[in-house]
Amino acid sequence: MRIENVSADQRVSTRIEADTIAVVGLGYVGLPLAVRLGEVFSRVVGFDLSGQRVARLNDGVDDTGEIGHERLAASNLVFSVDPAILASASIYIVAVPTPIRPDKRPDLTPLESACRTIAPHLGKGDLVIFESTVYPGVTEDICGPILEAGSDLRAGYDFNLGYSPERINPGDQVNRLETIVKVVSADTPAALDRVASLYGRVIDAGVFRCSSIRVAEAAKVMENTQRDVNIALMNELSVICQRIGISANEVIDAAATKWNFAPFRPGLVGGHCIGVDPYYIAALAEELGHHPEVILAGRRLNDSMVNQVATALIRRLVLRGGAVRAARVGLFGLSFKADVPDLRNSKAIELVTALGGFGLSVMVSDAVCAPDAVEASGLSLTDPNEMHDLDLLVVAADHKAYLEDPAFPGRVKPDGIFADIRGAFRGRTLPAGVDYWSL
């Protein structure tokens, strides 16, 4: 297998020019893809269940911040909540969430719903490509039969299935959709040519063909599971380093001078990918009779880090002296990662709850999240102007607005605690007497 930078079959490429492409799901994954497709192909439509989301997009506003107003307006895309918009399509790309249930089992409800929405509009010769993260077998064993049942057509004969896992990294201005190699797969060689040609036209980095859909599905969950396990290792080493009384980040800096050391950093693992996807491959493994020891141990450890951080901060407050429950505490950055207005599976929100369990009243602020989204999570934002003279300042998501504000560290009292969870402020000058802490 090799990375291809252009379509190998011009006839396939020409056929795609005549297709209408429908992107189903217009979130962090679907919208950038729809916009990029619209810049290359003349007939691209977008469908989403959220009327509010579609209305904002039709007004030229992407609330995720991934696509700017000018680029969105120039894309000339049509967005709708009406499934009828799918009727003219011959290529469907599904980019809907694949979360987990409260019992940590895969929740394929959004994916199954998308298939039922598409099925009545399927025609002979159509192609359905899935980008959502799933465990191997979902595309062909779950999605395919739903599409067949709703269309009276046969997958692999009347229409085709493709899988090309999304690799979007929200908030990353360097590694963008166009610059990341696209893994592609399909149920027949001819369909694979079509999928490769489609993505080859919009992905500058090229495409990588897989021998089967299951290989491509497994590649995606392997990518994210590896990252989760690596962060779990660093989190455990961070806990050990704290007990020794040394900085884990300084240890990582030293170890990183060796050529084959992977410098992952400790932190709170939230969001809709890294903290979720390992459960997909774990569920399949258990169905196949294998208990995934390392994968689930990594998940348990990463999920435990909220309590580890909360306990460490309470100890710090106790050692500082004074009434812990009377401490002025301010937490900055509620989103699951820096400069991304997404609160899904936010460990910062869990940290607020954990600190509250110790009797602390925590003021919260976020530089990128909308107030109504924060309120929907059960919290209320505090005016940042009121968050000063803090006994404990917690940086949970190191938004650029905080890093670029020279006055930001001055929000903490001279004898207060500056808790920089990810170590983003390491090496910076803090007010004299401030107790600095990070994982």
Determine the residue type at 136: P
Label residue 200 exposed, middle or buried (CB < 10 Å: 0-12, 13-18, 19+). buried
| Nearest CA among 203, 206, 201 for reference residue 14 | 201
Run of H or E including 208: strand 207-209
Cβ-in-10-Å burial (0-12, 13-18, 19+) of 313 comes to: buried
State whether residue 151 is helix, strand or coil.
Answer: helix
- Residue 133 and residue 97 in contact, taking contact as beta carbons nearer than 8 Å: no
Nearest to 197 by CA among 22, 5, 419: 5
For 46, residues 6+ apart whose C-beta sits below 8 A from its C-beta are 22, 23, 26, 30, 31, 34, 54, 57, 77, 78, 79, 80
Q: Note if 273 is an active site residue.
A: yes
Cα–Cα distance for residue pair 199/202, rounded to 1 Å: 5
Q: 83 near 14, Cβ under 8 Å?
A: no
Catalytic-labelled residue, pool 115, 210, 241, 273: 273
Q: Is 157 exposed, middle or buried (0-12, 13-18, 19+ CB in 10 A)?
A: exposed
Among candidate residues 406, 400, 393, the one with its CA nearest the CA of residue 424:
400
Active site residues: 273
